[in-house]
Amino acid sequence: MRHRSFTAMAALAAVLMVSGCTTENVDKTKTTSIQPAAKDVSTSDLAQGKAQFRDANYGLAEQHFRKAVELKADSAEGWMGLAASYDELGRFDFADRAYDQLLKVAGRKPQIVNNMGYSQLLRGNKKKARALLMEARAGMADPTVVNANLALLNKG
């Protein structure tokens, strides 16, 4: 009886192995790969950073601007937003590093120098703030923003 049982089990195993190897059970459904996103992810983070900054959510703005510059290191807008976010958060050490990167990417433009002056104003460094704001005003066609920052400097 043992011999019959062993033969039956061997036959069953052989049938299962053979049926498992047939190609009739193969899924022949064609698949397609997911296409890459058409938009640049850093652009999305840049837009989110700007929106959060406008809403005074500086912590969230910082996160989005940081991600934008991580994805696209030559993004002047990203570095400007990141530096401004750090200024508003009082993280001036990080703001200085972001301004340094911004200057490397975009050069010493009046808008950047204006923001650097405002950063110094927030820190209470009036002399340095005045020098930067005056430099910015000299290079701007419309110095309205710089004049407003100078007015803030003169109030304090």
Cβ proximity of 82 and 112 under 8 Å: no
Residue 28's SS3 state is coil
The pLDDT value recorded for residue 38 is 44
Integer-rounded Cα radius of gyration of the chain: 31
- Among the ranges given (12-26, 99-113, 123-137), the one the predictor scored with the smallest mean pLDDT: 12-26
Residue 87 has pLDDT above 90, yes or no: yes
* Whether this model's pTM surpasses 0.85: no
- Residues contacting residue 88 through CB under 8 Å, at least 6 positions apart: 53, 56, 58
Residue 74: pLDDT over 90: yes
CB 73 within 8 A of CB 106: no
Instruction: Kindly report, residue by residue over 102-131, the tens digit of the pLDDT.
Output: 999 999 999 999 999 999 999 999 999 999
Go through the domains of the chain in sequence order and give each one's CATH number: 40-107 (1.25.40.10), 108-156 (no CATH)
- In eight-state DSSP terms, residue 23 is S
More confident residue, 60 or 42: 60
